[in-house]
Each structure stands twice: as structure tokens, then as C-alpha cells.
Amino acid sequence: MNIKIRPAAREDVQKTSALYDDFFACNAAQQPENCVAATETGDCPNPVIESGSGDNMIAERDDAVIGFVHVEENAPPPYPSVVPHKYACIIDFFVMRGCRRNGTGRLLLDKVKRWTKSRNQEYLELMVWENNGSGRRFYEREHFITASRTMRLDV
């Protein structure tokens, strides 16, 4: 199985749309109070592809897109009490269900790590839903640690 990881281009939007639809449906199932299933029309990947501050990388096998990751450069606000630094943030990360546990996620993450280092970012962070056990286990296997916790109160 030959998996190729590369930056997405505008020409890839049609090839990635079905995968984004699956991603949106997965998010809606995990967080129905915050997410809804939707149809991708290019609104998600195009601004990332054109921005310059981030990248959308895709995993391809036999010319089919089987995974993607969206990563952005980030920095804390310039407060006098905060040490200035830059870091990379994974916004979205998804691998097609039938293609998981075969190294695709690790290949995408390795590409993001290289991207992060090439842009002189100090670290890489992401947010993962608490009820996404398989995602949390994947990131823990890849040596991510819990650095903070988001808590919510419905009012």
C-alpha cells in the first residue's frame, strides 16, 4: 500500500469533498449540540489553501484522498505577562474509517511535525473531544500530553 502525503491544492477540493462530508458527519455524531453534518463545497479547504499561515495536507492512496490534516501557525496575545512564542495548532485531523490503523494518521502527523519545525514553531498542539477515545489514544501514542483542559458550563 503506497500512501502519499502532500499539501492540498485548489484542484483537490472535489477529491476531498466526500472525506470532508464524512468528517462533518463524524463530528456531528460525537458533538450533536455543536456540530451538524454538512456537504463540503470548498468553503473549508479553500481559505486554508490560500491563507499562507496554515496548510491543509492530504493523504492519497491510489489517487483517492483517504485523510487530511489542517494546521495553522499561532501565537499568544502580546501580553506583558506572557513569553512571546509561536506554535502550530492542528485544527482538523481526519482519516477515512476504513483506512485507519494502517499508518496513514502517523504519516500525516509526521508531515505536520516537519511543517512545524520548518516554520520554527516551538510546539504543536490540538484540541480533541473528550468522548473521542480512539483519537485521544492515537495522540497519546504519538507523545501528546494534556497541557490544559477546557471546561464548559451550560447556562
> Quick check: is 154 in a domain?
no
Whole-model pTM? 0.87
> Quick check: is 86 in a domain?
yes
Confidence of residue 81 (pLDDT cuts 50, 70, 90): very high
Question: What's the pLDDT score for residue 87?
Answer: 97
Q: Which of 108, 130, 154 is nearest to 146 (CA)?
A: 130
Confidence of residue 54 (pLDDT cuts 50, 70, 90): confident
Residue numbers of the domain that contains 77: 3-141
Q: Which of 90, 106, 97 is nearest to 3 (CA)?
A: 106
Question: How far is it, in rounded angstroms, from Cα 104 to Cα 92?
Answer: 15
Residue with the three cell numbers 494518521: 105
Average pLDDT over residues 137-150: 94
> Quick check: is 146 in a domain?
no
Question: How far is it, in rounded angstroms, from Cα 133 to Cα 71?
Answer: 21
> Quick check: is 111 in a domain?
yes
Question: How far is it, in rounded angstroms, from Cα 23 to Cα 69?
Answer: 11
Q: Note whether 23 and 37 are within 8 A (CB).
A: no
> Quick check: is 15 in a domain?
yes
CATH of the domain at 59: 3.40.630.30
- Give the number of other CB atoms < 10 A from CB of residue 107: 18
> Quick check: is 137 in a domain?
yes
- Give the 3-state secondary structure of residue 45: helix
Count of structural domains within the chain: 1
Average pLDDT, the chain: 89
* 97 against 88, higher pLDDT: 88
> Quick check: is 150 in a domain?
no
Question: What's the pLDDT score for residue 45?
Answer: 63
> Quick check: is 39 in a domain?
yes
42: left (phi over 0), alpha (psi -120 to 50) or beta: left
